[in-house]
Amino acid sequence: MNPILQHSHHIIDNYQGQEPLANFLKAFFKLHSKLGSRDRKIISDIVYSYYRCAKSFDASAIVKEEIIRISYGLCGKYQAWAQKFIPHYFEKDGSSFEEKLQVLRDKKIDFNTNIPFDADLTFSKGITKEVWLFSMFTQPLVFVRLMGNNKPQILNKLKAKGIDYTVVNNNCISLAPSTKLGEILWESEYNIQDISSQNTSEYFHFSPNSTVWDCCAGAGGKSLLIKELNPKIKLTVSDKRASVLENLLERFQVYQFERPQYFELSLDKFPADTSELENRTFDVIVCDAPCSGSGTWARTPENFFFFEPEKLTTFYNSQLIIASSALPFLKKGGTFIYITCSVFENENELVVKQLMEQHKLSLKHQVLINGIENRADSLFVAVLEK
């Protein structure tokens, strides 16, 4: 077996989905430092292509090496020099995905694009199972929010380096997934954030001096967006991971935003210890809740491959606990914004329904932001009032 395929096969045999595939690959390449940059790229591409496609094959009817090779032929970004790693019947590099599927049909190779999936899972309104499944075969674009007041200058830098981009709106461009912006732009000039995530701002209707708590802040994507659009708001952030909060504060410093008040809080345990908040209340609480991440699985197909449907119950319960732990700190008449990057009703509408019943909230708006047509992620947003 070719060494490139051998390494790819070894990774697939040993990776169990317990950490992000990107982290596993990074550790693997560190152990195999003799692999050149081109080899690392192709191995990564082969492995990611496998996790996009593997569920579509009947594994009992085709050997694993052939699944790896066909998957790379279907979804890989292979160049002419990488032709040897795909089956010989994929002769045209420029063939579309649909044309390649027809080749498989002509070869009597069973490839089911309506991938076997738990039939009991209900999808949120605004997306269908079939369209979502088909999106797994295409890697989404990278979306970049342009920061600061020198956007034309930023675009000129990209043009000077021959970087292809598409203008999405006045503040956002899209790029090919492999683009390395860190070698071209200053860190303060851009923020990588999916366009669907950016579009959640359409539901951030805050008065200028609102008090806002981002209770599951993570790396701070929503917090940064809130502060950029509403500089005068009084922002508080929290997360249960100290390292994540440190990263958030560093990012605020990079973009020269006012440092938010922050707390290390674990809201996913009942009763949550919220003593640090004392008797504070907020005009707005943003709850970007931990979830399956199913709206982002086209970026991380390993999560799709290893997904266990029964875990949705765990997410559902955790989401209810987190939201219920935060809601006592919402002022009467205040706004609670519930967000997930999931496409499943269990984590979206069903959670919202329970929150309304348990906490006497009224629903102002809810929507599934379907990013598939834009080669972007999909997110759910619900706006509730106390």
108: left (phi over 0), alpha (psi -120 to 50) or beta: left
ω into 140 cis (within 30 of 0)? no
Q: Are 265 and 276 in contact (CB under 8 A)?
A: yes
What one-character-per-residue DSSP string does 293-335 give? -GGGTTT-HHHHHT--TTHHHHHHHHHHHHHHHHGGGEEEEEE
> Is there a single domain that holds both residue 169 and residue 297?
no
Q: Are 292 and 315 in contact (CB under 8 A)?
A: yes
Number of C-beta neighbours around residue 5 at 10 A? 18
Structure-token match 């996913």, residue found: 268
pLDDT at 93: 61
Which tokens sit at 99?
Answer: 């044309």
> Is there a single domain that holds both residue 180 and residue 288?
no
> Is there a single domain that holds both residue 200 and residue 178?
no
pLDDT at 119: 65
Residues 43, 168: Cα–Cα separation, whole Å: 31
Question: Pick from 113, 132, 155: which residue ends a domain?
Answer: 113
- Residue 33, domain member (yes or no): yes
Residues 203, 366: Cα–Cα separation, whole Å: 10
- Residue 119, domain member (yes or no): no
Cα–Cα distance list, 187 to 144, 152, 184, 191, 251 (Å): 12, 16, 9, 8, 9
> Is there a single domain that holds both residue 58 and residue 70?
yes
Residues 181, 157: Cα–Cα separation, whole Å: 10
> Would you give the distance in Å from CA 314 to the centre of its chain?
19
Antiparallel, parallel or unpaired: β 362-369 and 172-175? unpaired
Residues 373, 356: Cα–Cα separation, whole Å: 32
- Rounded to 10 degrees, the C-alpha dihedral 173/174/180/186 comes to 10
Tens digit of pLDDT per residue, the chain (386 long)? 789 999 999 999 999 999 999 999 999 999 999 999 999 999 999 999 999 999 999 888 899 999 999 999 999 987 777 888 998 888 766 688 999 999 999 999 999 998 877 667 899 999 999 999 999 999 999 999 999 888 999 999 999 999 999 999 999 999 999 888 998 999 999 999 999 999 999 999 889 899 999 999 999 999 999 999 999 999 999 999 999 999 999 999 999 999 999 999 999 988 888 888 888 999 999 999 999 999 999 999 999 999 999 999 999 999 999 999 999 999 999 999 999 999 999 999 999 999 999 999 999 999 999 999 999 999 999 999 99
Residues 52, 138: Cα–Cα separation, whole Å: 8
- Residue 275, domain member (yes or no): yes
> Is there a single domain that holds both residue 14 and residue 92?
yes
Please give the single-letter amino acid code of residue 348.
Answer: N
% of the chain surpassing 70 pLDDT: 98
Question: Pick from 162, 192, 222: which residue ends a domain?
Answer: 192
Residues 139, 128: Cα–Cα separation, whole Å: 19
> Is there a single domain that holds both residue 208 and residue 282?
yes
Burial class (CB in 10 A: 0-12, 13-18, 19+), 218: middle
- Residue 376, domain member (yes or no): yes
Residues 339, 354: Cα–Cα separation, whole Å: 15
> Is there a single domain that holds both residue 164 and residue 202?
no
- Residue 136, domain member (yes or no): no
Q: How many domains does the chain have?
A: 3
- Residue 250, domain member (yes or no): yes
Q: Are 46 and 5 in contact (CB under 8 A)?
A: yes
pLDDT digits (tens, 9 = 90+) for 314-342: 999 999 999 999 999 999 999 999 999 99
> Is there a single domain that holds both residue 315 and residue 297?
yes
Q: Which CATH number do you get for residue 263?
A: 3.40.50.150
Residue 192, SS3 per DSSP? strand
- Residue 57, domain member (yes or no): yes
Which tokens sit at 100?
Answer: 């390649």
What one-character-per-residue DSSP string does 28-94 give? HHHHTTTS-HHHHHHHHHHHHHHHHHGGGB-TTTS-HHHHHHHHHHHH----GGGGGGS-TT---TT
pLDDT digits (tens, 9 = 90+) for 103-162: 999 999 999 998 877 667 899 999 999 999 999 999 999 999 999 888 999 999 999 999
> Is there a single domain that holds both residue 161 and residue 240?
no
pLDDT at 360: 93
pLDDT at 132: 96
Mean model confidence pLDDT for the chain: 93
What is the residue range of 259's domain?
195-385
> Is there a single domain that holds both residue 339 and residue 366?
yes
pLDDT at 92: 64
> Is there a single domain that holds both residue 105 and residue 175?
no
- Residue 137, domain member (yes or no): no
pLDDT at 273: 86
Structure-token match 């979804």, residue found: 75
> Is there a single domain that holds both residue 254 and residue 321?
yes
